[in-house]
Structure 1
Amino acid sequence: MSFAFESADNFWLYVCAPVLVAFISLPIMRLFSSKNHFPVNGRTVVITGGSQGMGRALGKLLAQKGANVFIVARDVGKLEAAVEYISAAAQDPQSQRFHYISADLTHSSENIRIIDEITTWNNGSPPDVVWANAGMSTPQLFIETPIETLRSQMEINYWAATYLAHATLKKWLQPLISPPSSSDTKATITSSSSPSLPRHFIFTGSSVCYVGVAGYAPYAPAKAAMRSLCDTLRSELNLYTGAIASARKSSPSSSSASSIPPEIKIHTITPGTISTPGNLYENKSKHPITHILEEGDPVQSEDEVARVAIKALEKGHYLASTQFLGEAMRVSALGGSPRNGVVGVRDVLFGWVCAVAWLVVGPDMERKVWRWGFEHGVEGKAGTA
């Protein structure tokens, strides 16, 4: 079936009507979004990649909100300085606790060690929030990137987060997956009369997981895989959430409350360009055409990204960007991912607008890449536009 706009007036009607509906809906949406879905006061939060950049800024803001913060990275000197920086922002220095651990997250065994050590440090309780924030980008053209770099980019940007998610979720869900006793065919589950607050596992993705951008072939696929893992885990965790709800219903007054794990929430935050040391490192290997494609993109400070990310979590968002351009990319590429807003209305309406916009933006991006090749050939000085 073919469809065509009968006139330019009709075209703009179809484009502007969703925008108008979205603005009308905003006050209604605010009525349903006042609850804080991400309380952290008195809770223990783990942040990987926490010694600098976005991770350090997240630690500071969470400390200001009353969290106990545990950061993970490789460089001990940077970790010590970051803990001092984060702890100085504590809401209540007398009661809040701060610590760090040095580890190479690209080894699965290290992630298990981290969660075990944090559980011990946290008086035998697993952490309440785990944020897989560690990562780095080495942007280059695909065929000019050594195979070793392609592999290492996947290791730090996908596998490190996957190992951490695996170790964390096994720890959190242990009461449900423990081996059955010899007298029963399945593990015994007890319940609590007052269920705990949900635990949160958060991935730091990237806006390049939504849209292909020339020069990000070593990095973007890892973040796209991370987003897919997040979607899959969100679906899969319903199995355990259902088992928890059933257990609570069947024995609401059980005295063995500690054996029932809290509900688990999964999220991905997808920032764009952040003015951090990591961004300076990226620019050393970035092809000129990548700079051209990113011209005009908003650049956020690490504190701004942290603020917007945590605000999105407090609203209960599952998949969130940290600036308008990233949001446009997100709603244009949601596929089967859950929508934000009241029953997803905001994302659906915004997605209609962006779908029309991509009729112009997409070809324009491809034309810029073609023109660079036509005018300059393939080679260009890395790190300059």
Structure 2
Amino acid sequence: MFVFSFKKGWNPDGKHCYVTGGSSGLGLALAKILVAKGAHVSIVARDQAKLDAALVEMEAARVSPSQKLQAKSADLLSATASTAALEAVCELHDGAAPDAVFTCAGSSKPMFFVEMTEQDMKDGMDYGYWVQAWTVWAVTKMLVKQKKRGAKICMVSSMLGLMSFAGYASYAPAKHALRGLADTLQSEFMLYDIESQIFFPPTIYSPGYVTENKTKPDVIKKIEGTDEGLTPEQAAQGMLKGFVRGDNHISADLLTDIFRAGTRGSAPRVNFVFEAIYDFISYVGVPIWRRSVDGAIRGHREEHDKYLHLRGFFG
């Protein structure tokens, strides 16, 4: 006899949802879905022109005249700025902390490790980790001070937060760090009845993907050819589905499911039946995938050496 535990699904209707990185890509797609489900939605990003355009799209998804929709420009790379941005959007809600927070802000600049500058490495942590961590830090303090129970915070990592390969030395460490933060808070938040979750998307065909391809080495593009990827809308739907269900680790495609199951650590299981299957597939399939990736990298040695010579790396 099996005993199953069912969680009541989270409903965004009437809730205040705070979305960082909400002017494009995953953040905007998620914001529009939340608006269409009756939520009050506040988005924050740096580019005011993009925010204005995003707000028009959000207004088109409105289902009630009582919904409060806003877009604020802010740079979230410091504790001070992240706190100020949070307080600014909460003014419309009489200072009350958000019911749900989605930290979608971030960017990637893939390139070979030997080509990275000191600034590239610092930017990797700033735009991959701190741009989300400072918001989580600010929101947590506000929620605890207000004794607001039942709130939910969801960070956005990447499939590369579960594994990694060449080209992502400034990006993957930050995404692994977000997972460490989310797993830590999943435990610590039990003190306050707050929920910590994290999303591991595969490739998302967003404006950010177009930008990162400008620096991405060709061999990495070849390796990533096996990742079918998702549109921002597909990724947002998958993220929200896991968020509503209460998954601590959220994935939206089969390949990420397999990596997630194989690197779960002490995180709570999403579904013990399916994860047993994914564990087996991971045990058999990941080493095969790894060998193919390693083979592609080794086969690129000569071409890579010529590339570094042409770039003047050797002096």
TM-score by length of 2: 0.92
* Aligned residue number for residue 293 of structure 2: 365
SS in 2 for 1:215: coil
Change (3 A) 1:378 1:49: farther
Matches within 5 A, 1:304-319: 304-319=234-249
What is the aligned counterpart of 2:174 among 222, 225, 245?
A: 222
Once the two structures are TM-superposed, the CA of residue 346 in structure 1 deviates from its matched residue by 2.5
Structure 1 distance, partners of 2:145, 2:149, is 17
Pairing 1:67-86 to 2, within 5 Å after superposition: 67-86=39-58
Aligned runs of 1:35-184 on 2, under 5 Å?
A: 36-92=8-64, 94-175=65-146
Q: Which residue of 1 aligns with 2:200?
A: 270
Aligned residues: 309
Q: Give 3-state SS (helix, strand or coil) of 1:272's partner.
A: coil
Matches within 5 A, 1:257-336: 263-336=193-266
Distance 1:214 1:332 in 2: 20
Letter in 1 for 2:289: V
Q: Report the Cα distance in structure 1 between the residues aligned to 2:23 and 2:30, rounded to whole angstroms.
A: 10
How far apart are 1:91 and its partner, in Å? 2.1
Please tell me whether the aligned partners of residues 25 and 206 of structure 2 are also in contact (alpha carbons under 8 angstroms).
Answer: yes
Which residue is 1:211 aligned to?
163
Deviates more, 1:369-378 or 1:213-222: 369-378
CA RMSD of aligned residues (A): 2.1
Runs of 4+ in 1 over 6 A off after TM superposition: none
Q: 1:123, CA displacement in angstroms?
A: 1.9
Output the amino acid matched with 2:233. D
Q: CA deviation at 1:340?
A: 0.7
- Give secondary structure in 1 for the equivalent of 2:17: strand
Cα displacement (A) at 1:153: 1.6
Task: Show the counterpart of 2:153.
Answer: 201
Deviation at 1:293, TM superposition (A): 1.2
Task: Give 1:236's match in structure 2, choosing from 188, 192, 207.
Answer: 188
Residues 1:287 and 1:375: Cα distance change in structure 2 (over 3 Å): closer
CA radius of gyration, larger in: 1
- Check the 8 A contact 1:105/1:111 in 2, yes or no: yes
Label 1:331 to 1:98 Cα distance change in 2 as closer, same or farther (>3 A): same
Q: Compute the displacement of 1:37 (Å).
A: 2.6
- Residue 376 of structure 1 deviates from its aligned partner by 5.2
Quickly say closer, same or farther: Cα 1:359–1:124, change in 2 above 3 A.
closer
For residue 203 of structure 1, give the secondary structure of its aligned residue in structure 2: strand
The 2-side partners of 1:279 and 1:303 are apart by 14
Larger RCO, structure (CA 8 Å, separation 6 or more): 1
CA contact under 8 A between 1:215 and 1:289: conserved in structure 2?
Answer: no
Deviation of 1:379 (Å): 2.1
Q: CA deviation at 1:32?
A: 5.9
Q: Give per-residue Cα distances to partners, 1:6-27, cap 9 Å, x unaligned.
A: xxxxxxxxxxxxxxxxxxxxxx
Equivalent position amino acid for 1:148 in 2: Q
Structure 1 position 348, deviation (Å): 3.2
Matched, 1:356 2:284: yes
Deviation at 1:295, TM superposition (A): 1.3
The alpha-carbon distance between structure 1 residues 324 and 158, as it changes in their structure 2 partners (threshold 3 A), is same
The one-letter amino acid of 2:37's match is K
Q: Structure 2 regions of 5+ residues with no counterpart? A: none
Aligned pair in 2 of structure 1 residues 232, 197: CA closer, same or farther (>3 Å)? closer
Structure 1 residues without counterparts, runs of 5 or longer: 1-27, 177-195, 242-262
Q: Deviations over 1:222-257 (max 9, x none)?
A: 00000011001111122x24xxxxxxxxxxxxxxxx
SS in 1 for 2:61: coil
Note if contact 1:140-1:286 (Cα within 8 Å) is conserved in structure 2.
yes
8 A Cα contact 1:200 1:266, kept in partner: yes
